[in-house]
Structure 1
Amino acid sequence: MSSDLAALPRVRFVDGDAADVERNVITGYERLSGRSLAKGDPVRLFLESVAAVIVQQRELIDWAAKQNLLAYASGNYLDHLGALLGVTRLPARAAVCTVRFALSAPQTFAVLIPKGTRVSPDGALAFATDEVAVIYAGDTSTEATVTCLESGAAGNGYAAGKIDRIVDPIAYVASVVNVTASLGGSDAESDDSLRERIHLAPESFSVAGSSGAYEYWAKTAHQNVVDVSVIGPEDEPGNVYVYPLLADGGIPSSDILDLVSGVLNGEKVRPLSDRVFVKAPEAVTYRTELTYYVARSRAAAAGAIREAVERAVAEYESWQRSKLGRDVNPSELILRVMAAGVLRVEVTSPVHAVLTPSQVAIVSAESVVNFGGFEDG
């Protein structure tokens, strides 16, 4: 599906202009009654209250009608539109990681670590083992996968070594520590993400392995996948390379890549003649450094302009990393900073760079935003 929902013309099913409704109600009464209503006339005041109710009803009618359109639908209404194409909202996921349980000393018998054994980084948030783990006789440790008991992003970001408390003590087990970072937790799929997948859903009907189909199925693997590039090199017939990008420019871990690969290599997804390879995008780094100048006539607003400039820079950096293959574009940065109210701006970095569909632009250091002073406009 190539059409852009955002590019469609805006629609309105009913006119909700309050002034027009009030005028029509009052003039209609005056025409039928044969009398003119003064500003303070009780009848006029009553009709104005009636007009306000009509306006509210029209707004509700317009909103309800728009819930039948993909570009406007939200919440449960969007879920119902998705059901028409077999697309359901991805549920919240819990973060996972791998931990190592260690004994105080080797034993002559196996030590059992039950399924559901809880470990924690801080005594509050808990992870639980997914399966039974065993430390065999003569061994001192074993590894197990644990899943956060709280769905969503709360369990993400615990670096190796941070989850080190045993909530459910086990005889002979002296310590636990995570050997991989916790990741993969996410909230239920957002309306914007679900809307995009519904829009792409017809591509999934293809049995020929279209790029749109691969993009659709890749996004079903995890709700943090926000962009996908699909490349079929002409010199490698049958090979398909898929590059998923996570929210806010995140580079997918091996766990996420495995999830996507598992979906795309499903028997009912991958054409028999295709060989699908799921790879992490390449991060192309850049720095943001600029100097901006403010018109002397706006000196009193310099503080607010400074905040607006910093916000514009942050939004530019987010815009750069939100899509694969998006060229590093200093002109976009200049446009955003100028819109923040400056007189002019000099951008030292970044410089224009062309990216391939498998690359994403990521800022590599803290932005340097210099105030150059006041100038006559």
Structure 2
Amino acid sequence: MALADLIRPRSREQVVGRMLNVLAAGRGDVNPVNFAPTNYVPGDPLRTLLELTGEGVADVERTVEQLGLGGYLSTAHGAWLDALVESQYGLSRQASTFARFLVRFSAPVTTGLQVPAGMIVGTGTGLRYTTREAVTLEPGASADVLAVADSPGAAYNVPAGTITVLHTPLPGLSVTNPPGSLLSGGADTETDDALRVRASGRWAELGGGATRRAYEFWALTSHPSVDRVLVLDEHPRGQGTVDVVLWGEGGLGSSVVTAADEYIQARRPVTADVQVYSAHEINTPVPLDVYAPGADPVSVTAQIQQALAALQRSLGIGQILYHSAVIEAAMLPAGVLDVTTPLRDTHPTGVEVVTLAPAITFRSTP
């Protein structure tokens, strides 16, 4: 039997209705005078007292329900889940983090530039980053400086070559984020589901040595940006070897991998040869030809991109991207009648992860 079947809090209306029924019934131990129900119309002083009492009783029953649900990992949520995992598992919900990049400033060939700290750069989609270092550029020279996202979250883990907008004007200066420039990926606040998975992995630490679940727990706990883990524990590099492959939404960055490696190496069995590294990204172009007569292209495009982003988040390391799943995601917005694409199933290796680069066009005929 589900816990929800055992604890069913009543609403204020249900409590008040029950009290009215009892008073109208004229039970000798409760209401020997047998008041008529017409005495309890809304606005009547006695009805008002019943309403206040009913709200108090309903609030107590709601609290009892939350206490019951909050005692189990599978049903607790929000602050109740935080209290449960802190007291029973010794864990805290992982907070959101800011993406950190090395952005590359380039001066024109004709003149040098003094580039101060605090330059605001961004993407064409409106994401902004602020630099933390000043740099002097000779004519035609380039230099990499640290830039931090203006807000936390995985959405700021953008692909290489997309930070190209200068919001702080400086004539002749250009900016980009070269390949490998992500230092540490941004992360969203840990969800209830992710926290439950991590808490359930706590038990794997209790055994001798280290099980696959123990390595998964260590990896997921090592840094908030890590949200996918693949453990290769069948001696991938020879007897006694274990590989821990990491990934996070939009990428991780070298500092995240280093932090995870240090965390896991400090806990691994002394007899295990463990390597920790990031999954290899397969950036997959997804050309979509959409037929949506009468629909708003801007709205449909945004909804398709959102659906494809959810599909990407659902893909684990080494998991196949099916052509049918892409079509299903693209068909979700209202008004979309047909979608075609030359994309075929993408089969990554065991240490690769698929990311999607959608390119959406609209046609006027079926």
The TM-score with structure 2 as length reference comes to 0.66
Q: Which residue is equivalent to 1:311?
A: 303
Tell me the distance in 1 between the aligned counterparts of 2:362 and 2:3.
Answer: 38
Change (3 A) 1:76 1:350: same
Tell me the distance in 2 between the aligned counterparts of 1:188 and 1:340.
Answer: 25
Matched, 1:88 2:92: yes
- Does the CA-based 8 Å contact 2:285-2:356 persist in structure 1? yes
Change (3 A) 1:151 1:371: closer
Q: 2:360 is matched with which residue: 367, 371, 374?
A: 367
- Does the CA-based 8 Å contact 1:92-1:185 persist in structure 2? no
- Does the CA-based 8 Å contact 2:235-2:241 persist in structure 1? no
Tell me the distance in 1 between the aligned counterparts of 2:281 and 2:188.
Answer: 27
The Cα of 1:256 is off from its aligned counterpart by 1.8
Tell me the distance in 1 between the aligned counterparts of 2:183 and 2:285.
Answer: 26
SS of equivalent to 2:73: coil
Worse-superposed segment, 195-204 or 64-73: 64-73
The Cα of 1:289 is off from its aligned counterpart by 0.8
Q: Which residue is equivalent to 2:79?
A: 75
SS of equivalent to 2:77: coil
- Does the CA-based 8 Å contact 1:293-1:372 persist in structure 2? no
Change (3 A) 1:79 1:224: farther
- Does the CA-based 8 Å contact 1:94-1:147 persist in structure 2? no
Residue type at the aligned position of 2:58: V
Tell me the distance in 2 between the aligned counterparts of 1:352 and 1:156.
Answer: 25
Residue type at the aligned position of 1:212: R
- Does the CA-based 8 Å contact 2:216-2:230 persist in structure 1? yes
Tell me the distance in 2 between the aligned counterparts of 1:367 and 1:243.
Answer: 32
Change (3 A) 1:182 1:319: closer
Matched, 1:120 2:117: yes
Unmatched segments (≥5 aa) in structure 2: 104-115, 121-128, 134-142, 166-176
SS of equivalent to 2:246: strand
Change (3 A) 1:127 1:194: farther
The Cα of 1:222 is off from its aligned counterpart by 0.8
SS of equivalent to 1:26: helix
The Cα of 1:23 is off from its aligned counterpart by 2.3
Tell me the distance in 2 between the aligned counterparts of 1:19 and 1:357.
Answer: 57
1:206-229 Cα distance to aligned partner (Å, 9 max, x none) = 333222111110112210111111
Residue type at the aligned position of 1:84: Q
1:109-144 Cα distance to aligned partner (Å, 9 max, x none) = xxxxxxxxxx8333996748xxxxxxxxxxxxxx9x
Change (3 A) 1:261 1:70: same
Matched, 1:280 2:282: no
Unmatched segments (≥5 aa) in structure 1: 1-7, 100-118, 129-142, 163-177, 295-301
Percent identity reads 16
Change (3 A) 1:30 1:199: same
- Does the CA-based 8 Å contact 1:75-1:191 persist in structure 2? no
The TM-score with structure 1 as length reference comes to 0.64
Change (3 A) 1:233 1:367: farther
Matched, 1:214 2:208: no
Give the RMSD, CA atoms, in angstroms.
4.5
TM alignment of 1:1-377, pairs within 5 A:
11=4, 13-32=7-26, 33=31, 34-38=34-38, 40=41, 42=44, 43-71=46-74, 72-75=76-79, 78-90=82-94, 120-122=117-119, 127=132, 181=181, 183-184=183-184, 186=186, 189-192=189-192, 193-233=194-234, 236-247=238-249, 250-266=250-266, 269-284=267-282, 285-293=284-292, 302-303=294-295, 307=299, 310-324=302-316, 325-342=318-335, 344-370=337-363, 372=365
Residue type at the aligned position of 2:117: S
- Does the CA-based 8 Å contact 1:326-1:360 persist in structure 2? yes
Tell me the distance in 2 between the aligned counterparts of 1:67 and 1:188.
Answer: 23
The Cα of 1:304 is off from its aligned counterpart by 6.1
SS of equivalent to 1:120: coil
Worse-superposed segment, 235-244 or 216-225: 235-244
